[in-house]
Structure 1
Amino acid sequence: MLEYRIIPVTPFAQNCSLLWCSETRKAAVVDPGGDIDRIEAAIAEAGVELEKILLTHGHIDHAGATAELARRHAVPIEGPQEEERFWIDALEDQSRMFGFPPVEGFTPDRWLNDGDEVSVGAVTLQVLHCPGHTPGHVVFFDPASRLAVVGDVLFAGSIGRTDFPRGDHGALVTAIRTKLWPLGDDVRFIPGHGPMSTFGTERASNPFVGEGR
């Protein structure tokens, strides 16, 4: 069974997620954007063993502490999709632009593609490539617990910005409607910022991608 804890990090209040398998106590950190001591405290408090880092995309508030966390724990980095190299290679520039501490560069150990799977202990997550906010953005979905980690694709009452370089509003809306909605209205999701919601709630009422729009 998949369990989770949300850890707000960085001045952007980004929802870093600690996911773990209740059977094996193996864990993954999704989107360690910063505040690494806070992330490590959550790992210790949960009593789990970190086995990997998962990334939805390469923006600084989601990926800034990735290299340091991976080095400290000697764990691999999986994701995003390879088109995200564009943003990951620019992390140093992003850190200066947004006033973040200096960051270590990295290359993921495994780029992910639509239809891939990643494991967290005995739990298997599905990977969906959902471009638009950024070109290589991915979403992680656990069919058993009906939980998705969607990064900055979808929020409660909103969707991801597409005014950054290589953003694509049409691609984002298409990804939400064709890849997320079919997973089911009952799916709960952890967004990159703000409160959790369900796909059903957003499909019914989200002003950007709700039914009737």
Structure 2
Amino acid sequence: MLKYKIVPVTPFEQNCSILWCDQSRKAAVVDPGGNIERILKAADELGVDIERILLTHGHIDHAGGTAGLARQLGVPIEGPEREESFWIDALPQQSKMFGFPQVETFTPDRWLAEGDQVQVGNESLSVIHCPGHTPGHVVFFSNTARLAVVGDVLFAGSIGRTDFPRGDHSALVNSIRQKLWPLGNDVSFIPGHGPMSTFGAEREGNPYVGDYA
């Protein structure tokens, strides 16, 4: 069974996630934006072995610690979708803009695309391309655990910003309604910031993408 723990990182309180397979104790870190030692301490306390890094998109609060963590652990980086390369290339500029410690850029070992699968131990996650917040944003979905890691696509009661370069509000709304809602109302999701929710709760009450919006 797929398990998870949320580890808030960076001054933006970004929800970095540790996902692990309960059977093998193999884990993935999703969106290590910073505070690497905090992430490693959490993994150590869980007794899991990190085997890869997964990225939803290239904003600094999600990707800023990626190069350092990958080098320290010797693990591959998977994701996001290739359209996100310009954000990853701009990580040094992002760090200056938002007052983060200087970070280095990187090239993922594997760019992801719609329909790809990523492994976490014996568990498999589906990759869903959800552009709008950024052009190459992806969501990771476990059908067996009924869990989605959605980055900055969707929040409890809100949706991602689209005022960044290459943001697209209508594309974001379409991504949520056409790609996430069909997964099922019972799916719980880990957003990039703030508390978890379910797709059903957001369909019921989200003022931006709910069924009554």
Query: What TM-score comes out, normalization by structure 1 length?
Result: 0.99
Report the Cα offset of residue 212 of structure 1.
Answer: 2.6
The equivalent residue for 2:144 is 144
The equivalent residue for 1:2 is 2
Superposition map of 1:79-90 within 5 A: 79-90=79-90
The equivalent residue for 1:70 is 70
Report the Cα offset of residue 34 of structure 1.
Answer: 0.4
Corresponding letter in the other structure for 1:195: P
Q: What's the C-alpha RMSD, in Å, of the aligned pairs? A: 0.4
Give the whole-Å Cα distance in 2 for the aligned partners of 1:78 and 1:100. 23
Superposition map of 1:170-181 within 5 A: 170-181=170-181
Give the whole-Å Cα distance in 2 for the aligned partners of 1:193 and 1:46. 22
Report the identity percentage: 73
Give the whole-Å Cα distance in 2 for the aligned partners of 1:185 and 1:35. 33
The equivalent residue for 1:112 is 112
Superposition map of 1:17-56 within 5 A: 17-56=17-56
Secondary structure of 1:190's counterpart equals strand
Which blocks of at least 5 consecutive residues in structure 2 are unaligned? Answer: none
Report the Cα offset of residue 86 of structure 1.
Answer: 1.2
Secondary structure of 1:166's counterpart equals coil
Query: What TM-score comes out, normalization by structure 2 length?
Result: 0.99
The equivalent residue for 1:183 is 183
1:174-194 deviation line (CA, Å, top 9, x unaligned): 000000000000000000000
Give the whole-Å Cα distance in 2 for the aligned partners of 1:130 and 1:17. 19
Which blocks of at least 5 consecutive residues in structure 1 are unaligned? Answer: none
Give the whole-Å Cα distance in 2 for the aligned partners of 1:14 and 1:148. 16
Give the whole-Å Cα distance in 1 for the aligned partners of 2:24 and 2:77. 20
Corresponding letter in the other structure for 1:101: P
Give the whole-Å Cα distance in 1 for the aligned partners of 2:208 and 2:116. 28
Runs of at least 4 residues off by over 6 Å: none
Secondary structure of 2:28's counterpart equals strand
Indicate yes or no: 2:152 matched with 1:162: no
